[in-house]
Amino acid sequence: MSGVGSLGLRSSGSYGSLQQSNGQSPSPSPPLGARKPGKMSLGGAGAGGRGLLFARICKLTSRRRRMLLLLLVAAAVVVCFFFSSLVSKDEDAPPGIETMLGFSDQVRSFVNPVWTSSGRPTIHGDSLSRNGLSTASQTEKQSGSSHDKLRGLSWSFPPSVVLEHHPCENFSFSSPPIDRKRTGPRPCPVCYVPVEQALALMPSAPSSSPVLRSLTYLSDGNLILKESNSGSLFGGYPSLEERDKSYDIKDSMTVHCGFVRGKIPGVSTGFDIDRADLSEMWQCQGTVVASAIFGNYDLMQQPENVSMFSKDTVCFFMFLDEETEAAIKNTTTIDNSKRIGLWRVVVVRNLPYSDARRNGKVPKLLLHRLFPNVRYSIWIDGKLKLVRDPYQLLERFLWRKNVSFAISRHYRRFDVFEEAEANKVGGKYDNASIDYQIEFYKREGLTHYSPAKLPITSDVPEGCVIIREHIPITNLFTCLWFNEVDRFTSRDQLSFSTVRDKIRTRVNWVADMFLDCERRDFVVQAYHRELWEQILRNPPPPQHPLVHQQHRKMLPDNTAKEPGKASAPKKLPAKRTRDKKSSSKRAHRTKVTGGKEFIQL
């Protein structure tokens, strides 16, 4: 073997180590081990041209320079391989993991990298109908035509991300850390992956929808108002027979799902939206983060810790009524693009309900009707602030578990009957309406929660956050859940388990419920507006400084009246004892009052 042969063997070994490590930097090999065989091969090189040339070079250079030369050759080989890997595909990547983030068809269709002047995802203009709106089928046909636009991004993620093992596979759950200042529910540690790795773990195809393949929605333009206790004009007054039929899951179904009075949700259906806003909502593809504030009940919270990639590819929509819009305009300027921070503001008119809580259930449960072209949605209540990246949430709560619907369970209550009693004690709703709903469910077979329902971990959700994939079965679930809210009370915690269990008995699907402490890790809850205003109007008095000032003021007066008595210091402990007892009584009363407040919540 010649010296070149030995170098070729070494370089091939370097290639092998790089391929096995999937792009990881290879561990350096000892230089002496590489040079020694080369020296031995030169002795038997014969009269070959290349061998003589290499031997002559080695004779003219010192041992140190020969070592440097070999290192330069090895470095050149590694650099050549590195640049070649930038333009080549990794064909050995396991299926189901996206390896070319920058130019993959799956990521292109998911993030929808066609940009409007406002910097938001959009589709091509020729897919809009004459009404200024597109249909879902039209949009799906146009979704693959955005290939060249992705290269216009000013930045990109690493071109190849290969994960042999999930970064969080060794993560073990731990309880929330102890905090003496916070004795109530607290967030617990959650393992998220970086955004680029989350995108690499995105499924290349939609999740399967068991049994149900096609779902359409009932519309009736001639529907008239009825004096009925079983629904609303917006919901279409479904009868009990229609309600039962909607749980008979088939390959193709048509169900009540709000917006019954029109063919296009938001156009003369109640919950009306301007056509310009509807057009942008229908152009949103990939992922939408949505929230709503009605009745000026909450303060708008801006998402935090959102990556630039998500800011460019995820839609953020905030629904407001006219009352809330007027209040916001007094303190905040809404620009021409109708944006406040990350939120694209949509003002809703002709609200279907007089109760702001019911109006909030429309975008919460019917996002698939308002955004027919998105693949994933994240709903957060108006009182919450999102503090994690949307793609990290999708990976953590959907893709990692291979589920299509995720919602947190209640931090304390697992039983619907207990939740109903807590709602009555807290004055959340009319007690007679709550009793009627629970009695109705009892006649249908509702039972108390018990370990016999495992793997179902709870019957009571904390419904302020919903993370889901838009497929027929999840769309059906939220439609039927909305119908229960429309028929009975607006307390969706009471109807969740009934809808879930009815679907579960017919098809192999169930909503995944994660821990409430995990939810508290990615959203931060703020006070409602009226509580903030109450705190600002009536700040708590600084009690302790006033007590100390009274003691300091009283001591000179007492000593001035009786300067010659040495027993004055003996009276001070007695006064402190009385103060201590009275303060303990006050503390005891505070605890009782706090307990009452806690029960009311």
| Percent of residues, the chain, with pLDDT higher than 70 | 61
- Quote the pLDDT of residue 72: 79
The predicted model gives 194-218 an average pLDDT of 96
The predicted model gives 110-124 an average pLDDT of 40
Structural contact between residues 191 and 518, judged by C-beta atoms closer than 8 angstroms:
no
Higher pLDDT, 237 or 68: 237
Give the pLDDT band (50/70/90) at residue 176. confident
Rounded-to-integer distance, Cα 420 and Cα 154, Å? 53
- Quote the pLDDT of residue 230: 81
The predicted model gives 514-524 an average pLDDT of 97
* SS3 state of residue 203: coil
- Quote the pLDDT of residue 77: 72
DSSP 8-state assignment for residue 421:
H
Rounded-to-integer distance, Cα 202 and Cα 192, Å? 14
Give the pLDDT band (50/70/90) at residue 185. confident
- Quote the pLDDT of residue 335: 79
Tokens linked to 51: 């061998």
Higher pLDDT, 472 or 88: 472
Closest by alpha carbon to 229, among 440, 417, 493?
440
Q: How far is the first Cα of the chain from the last one, in angstroms, to the nearest whole number?
A: 84
- Quote the pLDDT of residue 54: 57
Give the pLDDT band (50/70/90) at residue 147. very low
> For the chain, what is the mean pLDDT?
75
Give the pLDDT band (50/70/90) at residue 498. very high
- Quote the pLDDT of residue 50: 53
- Quote the pLDDT of residue 474: 99
Structural contact between residues 385 and 291, judged by C-beta atoms closer than 8 angstroms:
no
Give the pLDDT band (50/70/90) at residue 457. very high
- Amino acid letter for position 549: Q
- Quote the pLDDT of residue 131: 47
Checking if the pLDDT of 458 tops 60, the result is yes
- Amino acid letter for position 60: L
The predicted model gives 540-549 an average pLDDT of 52
The predicted model gives 130-139 an average pLDDT of 44
Give the pLDDT band (50/70/90) at residue 473. very high
The predicted model gives 82-104 an average pLDDT of 41
Name 225's bridge partners.
none
Tokens linked to 263: 């063919």
- Amino acid letter for position 302: Q
Q: What is the pLDDT of residues 381-428, one digit of tens each?
A: 999 999 999 999 999 999 999 999 999 999 999 999 999 999 999 998
The predicted model gives 553-572 an average pLDDT of 43
Structural contact between residues 389 and 287, judged by C-beta atoms closer than 8 angstroms:
no
In this structure, the strands spanning 405-409 and 512-514 are parallel
Range of lowest pLDDT (164-173, 575-584, 589-598): 589-598
- Quote the pLDDT of residue 551: 44
Checking if the pLDDT of 101 tops 50, the result is no
Range of lowest pLDDT (31-35, 291-295, 421-425, 495-499): 31-35
Tokens linked to 408: 């947190």
Helix (H) or strand (E) holding 406: strand 405-409
Tokens linked to 213: 């393949």
Rounded-to-integer distance, Cα 13 and Cα 247, Å? 62
Give the pLDDT band (50/70/90) at residue 263. very high
Q: Output b/e per residue, 440-460; b: 16+ Cβ within 10 A.
A: ebeeeebeebeeeeeebebbb
Structural contact between residues 123 and 143, judged by C-beta atoms closer than 8 angstroms:
yes
Checking if the pLDDT of 110 tops 70, the result is no
Rounded-to-integer distance, Cα 559 and Cα 541, Å? 30
- Quote the pLDDT of residue 390: 99
How far is the CA of 563 from the CAs of 551, 552, 553, in angstroms? 17, 16, 16
DSSP string, 88-148: S--TTSPTTS---TTT-HHHHHHH---B-TTS-B---GGGS-TTS---HHHHHHHTT--TG
Rounded-to-integer distance, Cα 34 and Cα 39, Å? 9
Tokens linked to 17: 């180590």
- Quote the pLDDT of residue 571: 47
Tokens linked to 514: 């994660």
Q: What is the pLDDT of residues 349-369, one digit of tens each?
A: 999 999 999 999 999 999 999
Rounded-to-integer distance, Cα 294 and Cα 355, Å? 9
- Quote the pLDDT of residue 389: 99
- Quote the pLDDT of residue 24: 38
CA 392 to chain centre: 7
- Quote the pLDDT of residue 537: 55
**Using a CB cutoff of 8 Å and minimum separation of 24, what contacts does 545-552 make?**
547/579
Closest by alpha carbon to 29, among 63, 77, 84?
77
Q: What is the pLDDT of residues 303-318, one digit of tens each?
A: 999 999 999 999 999 9
Give the pLDDT band (50/70/90) at residue 273. very high
465 burial via Cβ count (<10 Å: 0-12, 13-18, 19+): buried
